[in-house]
Every structure is written in C-alpha cells, then in structure tokens.
Amino acid sequence: MLSVLALTSVVLLGIASQTTAIVVYTSWERHALVGTDVRLSCSFFSWKWTSPDVTFSWHYRSDGARDSIAIFHYTGGVPYVDNKGPFRDRLEFVGNPSRRDGSILIKNVDIADNGTFTCDAKNPPDIAGSPSNVRLLVFENVPVQAGVITGAIIGVVLGLLILIVAIYYLMRFLVARRVFSLSMSKHGKKGKGKEGSQQKQKPKVPLVFISF
C-alpha cells in the first residue's frame, strides 16, 4: 500500500512540475547581409493559458565579449527598447504576445552586430524554464561556400533532367526504328510469298500439234 502511495505521489509531483514549466524556442542560427533587416523569432510552450502578465526579455552578447546586455523587455503590454544600447534606433518589436510570440526585428545590420541573442519568456504562474539562444552571423556578401553548394546542387539537378530527357527521346527513337524495321520485314515476306505463289500458279500453255 505504501509503495502504491509513493508511486502516486511521484506521478503527481511529475505532473505538477510539468504544469509550472515553460519552454522557450528560438532559431539556432540566423544569417543576414550587411544593410538588411533580420527577424529574430522567439516563442514559448506553456501548460497554462497565455497570461496578461506574460513577459519577454532579450539580451545580447557580441562576439568576443564576456557579458551580455539587456536590449529589450516586454511587460504589462508595453515594449521597452534599451535607449543606450547598440540597437536603440534599430530594434523593433514584431511579436504577438497573445500568440506567445516575442520576436524582434533588427534593422540595418552590420558586421559589428555578430553575436548571440538570448530570449527569455515568462507566463505566470509558469516561470520556471531556460532561455534560448540564437546566433546572428552578418556577411558583406553571400558566403562562398553556400554559393558553391547551391550552384553544385542546381547543376546536378539540371544535369539529371537533361539526362532523363535524352534517355526518353533515345528510347522513343529506338522503339520507332524497331517498329519500322519489323513492319518492313513483314511487308517484304508478304511480297516474296505472293511472288512465289504466282509463279507456282502460272497456267500451263497446252501444246497443239498441227498435222498437214
């Protein structure tokens, strides 16, 4: 009996721990070109209904830096952008808290923006959970490796399509030539058969002897 009660309590504790947990999701890595805008998505899963007190927080740590800085916070239905950080004039909140979306938009990105962005969300009473990180990589031009791989994939696909089309028309040609050859062979045999039968059926001219 005690073992059953103990097992039941463990299960209930597990369920209770699930109902107070929150899971935050972001992309693993985002790429962008200099001068473009990039959206950093953030959402969460919670066992509770979306609370009117839901909050989103974004922090940023540039490459080579040890500490991160707060760049954005959403609470009480109002978004707050840090007015002293590197994104004070370039950050826009584009999320929808009612749909558990805390995404932000970084405008006119530059090489100096390379770094790790961290999103954290709270949906009271679900407040226990770990934030999620997304790494931003900004390039002046399209990475050579990505361009080479894309070109190679396109080349292989086009090559396969050309090969398939060539095989298709080759097969049609071979089939048509075979059909034509068989047709001519049959006509030839029929012609020879008719000539032979005509020679066999040629009437014999009777010999008439005239006597004087």
- Looking at residue 190, what is its pLDDT? 58
User: Does residue 56 carry a pLDDT above 70?
Assistant: yes
**Average model confidence (pLDDT) for the chain?**
82
**Residue 199: is its pLDDT beyond 90?**
no
pLDDT of residue 42: 98
CA 18 – CA 78 distance, rounded (Å): 29
Mean pLDDT value across residues 42-62: 96
Q: Across 14-23, 106-115, 192-201, which has the greatest mean pLDDT?
A: 106-115
Indicate whether 74 and 95 sit together in one domain: yes
Which has the closest alpha carbon to 54: 133, 131, 132, 120? 120
Q: Are residue 27 and residue 123 in the same domain, yes or no?
A: yes
Judged by average pLDDT, the poorest of 86-90, 136-140, 196-200 is 196-200
Q: Are both 97 and 29 inside the same structural domain?
A: yes
Terminal C-alpha separation, the chain: 146
d(Cα 74, Cα 102) in Å, to the nearest integer? 8
Helix, strand, or coil here: 28? coil
- If asked whether residues 26 and 114 sit together in one domain, one would say yes
Domain contains 123: yes
Question: What integer pLDDT is reported at residue 121 of this predicted model?
Answer: 97
Last residue of a domain, one of 141, 157, 176: 141
Co-location of 147 and 88 in the same domain:
no
Q: How far apart are CA 85 and CA 68, in angstroms?
A: 11
Q: Does residue 200 lie within any of the structural domains?
A: no
| DSSP state for residue 106 in the 8-state scheme | E
pLDDT for 40 equals 98
Task: For residues 111 and 170, state if they share a domain.
Answer: no
State whether 115 and 181 are in the same domain.
no
Task: Write the CB contacts of 142 (distance below 8 Å, at least 6 apart in sequence).
Answer: 33
**183 has a pLDDT exceeding 80:** no
Asked if the structure places residue 195 within a domain, the reply is no
* In a domain? residue 1: no
What is the rounded average pLDDT of the residues 118-130? Answer: 94
CATH of the domain at 51: 2.60.40.10
- Count of structural domains, the chain: 2
Residue, of 7 and 55, whose pLDDT is higher: 55
- Greater confidence, 110 or 158? 110
Both 129 and 98 in a single domain?
yes
Burial 155-165, CB ≥16 within 10 A → b, else e: eeeeeeeeeee
Quick one: pLDDT band at residue 10, thresholds 50, 70, 90? very low
Residues 111 and 29 grouped into a single domain: yes
- Domain that includes residue 151, residue range: 143-186
**High-pLDDT (> 90) share of the chain, %:** 55
Residues 113 and 165 in one domain: no
In a domain, 198, yes or no: no
pLDDT higher for 171 or 133?
Answer: 133
**Tens digit of pLDDT for each residue in 42-51?**
999 999 999 9
Tell whether 114 is covered by a domain. yes
Q: Does residue 199 lie within any of the structural domains? A: no
Same domain, residue pair 113 and 158: no
User: Higher-confidence residue: 73 or 3?
Assistant: 73
Is 118 found in the same domain as 51?
yes
